[in-house]
Structure formats: structure tokens, C-alpha cells
């Protein structure tokens, strides 16, 4: 493993993340960095390298981009892209049909801020490597939540090097997270800081977006392996032995009904910024269990 929590903390969640990408026709393939007056602030972000500038697509431009996408790739490609767990990182030819309905027209249809931050707020201190348009080729970023902090890690694809700790924030500086369903496979999440600034991230998988929101709200509790019963530890070991070698360390979540959810994430072959979630539900002695109302 390329990063380990400290002895005084428990790992609750690790998931790939990057800044989200607009999907609605006018903002397809775009992302903006705003202050509360909707001014573009990317030129004000300390230490950030230059990045692309985006403009809203005109009606004619949208039609051309949609036509070009269909001609270049064909309908089967579009169907596959929509179904793909990772989606398209940059949506270079136009909008990708999203699941869900817009919840905030100002921020999802007419504009698409992925950072909302007044001067001096914490959102301005997240790492620039979260931006796919700025980071080096073959570089990926992860969000890690532990019992006492939230970190952003950077890794180089295909290496076993130690992960770069790009930024970290104490838990009390995080106000919460919200899954944004109008997004690629419902995998966007808005991470809000205590100073009301926020960033919108693509979390690689809808399960990860939902789990981050649940953990930060206290709706579910992640437990250490030491809290598992002998039967649960045995079942979890058998489950993990069946996963690919690239699987990340598992997390154990005690759901409201008392059953335990075991989750492990495996890098997706379809998108380097996405992953597939493998999971089982266990009863008290490790037996297979069913989710109860309110669990998931």
C-alpha cells in the first residue's frame, strides 16, 4: 500500500477523486472556479499552474458537438459510455446524458462551479492536481477520510512509489458532504468546509459519493477490523482473498440495523479516475445478510 494512516487514527474511506465535469449542454466538458459573486478566481489560486479557460456553449455549438460525437463514435459507443462506471473524464465532444435531475440550475445547467470560495477560505487550498486539465499525464488523486482528518493523495499510475500527501484538513474543518445525483453515474459529491466554501468532486463511483456523505453526517459508522466477531473476520478474509491484487484495503461499516458492510475498491479498467466497488453484507456471525430499511 502506498499510504498508511497513523497509529492514532482509523481509515474510514479511500476513493479516487477529481474535480467534476459539467454535463448539461451549455456547460458540457467544462468546470469553473468561482467566488460567491461568481467571479472566476482560478488566476487567484496560489501556486496553481495555468489551466484552460471555458466558455458556455452556444446553441449552434451544442448541436455541432452532439452531431460530431455521434458520427465519430456511433450510438453503441454512447450507450457504453453512459453505462460505464467511470464515464468520460473530459466529455470532449459534448454532454454525456446524466442520471438524476438538476438540483441547482445556477450551478449545474447555467454554470458549473467546482470550487465556490471567498478569499481566504479553505476550498482555495485544495490541491491543483485535482484538476484533470492541469495535472501530469498518468497522475491520479485520492481522497482519504480517517477518524481525525481528510487528506488528498497523489499517485503515479503504474508505480509502487509512496503517495504524495497533497493536502490535509482536520475533521472539524469539514462541515459535510452531499451526493450530487445530476452527474456522471451519480458519482459527484460536494464537499463543504466549515467556512461554507466548497468543492465539487467526481468520486469515481456512486457508492463512494454516498458513503462519504453518510460518514461525515454520522449516518453510518465505520469500525476497525478488531470489532468484528471471529465469524465476520473469517468471512471477510475469504471475500478479500477472491479480489484482484490491486484491491484497496477494505472498510467495515456498521449499518443502522447492526449488520456489517464490507467494501473494497478495485481500480476500473475503463477509466483511471474510477473504480469498481466489491461488497458483501454480514450478519453477527459472518453469515450473509440482507440490507434492512434505512441501511443503504
The pLDDT of residue 277: 86
Q: Where are the domains of the chain?
A: 11-217, 221-282
- Taking only the tens place, the pLDDT of each residue in 92-139 is 333 444 567 899 999 999 999 999 999 999 999 999 999 999 999 999
- Taking only the tens place, the pLDDT of each residue in 62-99 is 444 444 443 333 433 333 333 333 333 333 333 444 56
The pLDDT of residue 99: 63
For the chain, how big is the Rg over CA atoms in Å?
A: 20
The pLDDT of residue 60: 52
Distance in angstroms (rounded) separating the CA atoms of residues 27 and 17: 20
The pLDDT of residue 1: 67
Beta strands in the chain (DSSP E): 11-16, 18-19, 32-34, 113-116, 139-146, 149-156, 164-170, 174-180, 188-193, 198-202, 221-223, 251-254, 260-267, 275-282
The pLDDT of residue 268: 81
Residues of the chain whose pLDDT is less than 70? 1, 59-99, 272
Amino acid at each position: 500500500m502506498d499510504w498508511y494512516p497513523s497509529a492514532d487514527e482509523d481509515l474510514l474511506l479511500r476513493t479516487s477523486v477529481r474535480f467534476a465535469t459539467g454535463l448539461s449542454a451549455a456547460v458540457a466538458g467544462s468546470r469553473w472556479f468561482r467566488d460567491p459573486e461568481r467571479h472566476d478566481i482560478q488566476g487567484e489560486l496560489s501556486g496553481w499552474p495555468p489551466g484552460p479557460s471555458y466558455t458556455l456553449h452556444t446553441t449552434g455549438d451544442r448541436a455541432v458537438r452532439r452531431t460530431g460525437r455521434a458520427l465519430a463514435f456511433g450510438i453503441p459507443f454512447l450507450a457504453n459510455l453512459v453505462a460505464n462506471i467511470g464515464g468520460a473524464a473530459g466529455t470532449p465532444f459534448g454532454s454525456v446524458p446524466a442520471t438524476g435531475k438538476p438540483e441547482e440550475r445556477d450551478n449545474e445547467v447555467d454554470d458549473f462551479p467546482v470550487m465556490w470560495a471567498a478569499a481566504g477560505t479553505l476550498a482555495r487550498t485544495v490541491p491543483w492536481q485535482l484538476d484533470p486539465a492541469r495535472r501530469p499525464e498518468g497522475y491520479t488523486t485520492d481522497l482519504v477520510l480517517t477518524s481525525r482528518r481528510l487528506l488528498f493523495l497523489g499517485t503515479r499510475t503504474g508505480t509502487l512509489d509512496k503517495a504524495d500527501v497533497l493536502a490535509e484538513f482536520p475533521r472539524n474543518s469539514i462541515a459535510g458532504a452531499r451526493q450530487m445525483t445530476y452527474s456522471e453515474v451519480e458519482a459527484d459529491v460536494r464537499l463543504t468546509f466549515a467556512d461554507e466554501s466548497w468543492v465539487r468532486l467526481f468520486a469515481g463511483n456512486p457508492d463512494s459519493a454516498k458513503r462519504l456523505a453518510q460518514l461525515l453526517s454520522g449516518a453510518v459508522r465505520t469500525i476497525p477490523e478488531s470489532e468484528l466477531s471471529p465469524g465476520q473476520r473469517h468471512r471477510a478474509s475469504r471475500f478479500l482473498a477472491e479480489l484482484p491484487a490491486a484491491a484497496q484495503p477494505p472498510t467495515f461499516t456498521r449499518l443502522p440495523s447492526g449488520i456489517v458492510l464490507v467494501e473494497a475498491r478495485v481500480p476500473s479498467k475503463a477509466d483511471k479516475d474510477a473504480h469498481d466497488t466489491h461488497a458483501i453484507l454480514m450478519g453477527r456471525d459472518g453469515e450473509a445478510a440482507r440490507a434492512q430499511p434505512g441501511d443503504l
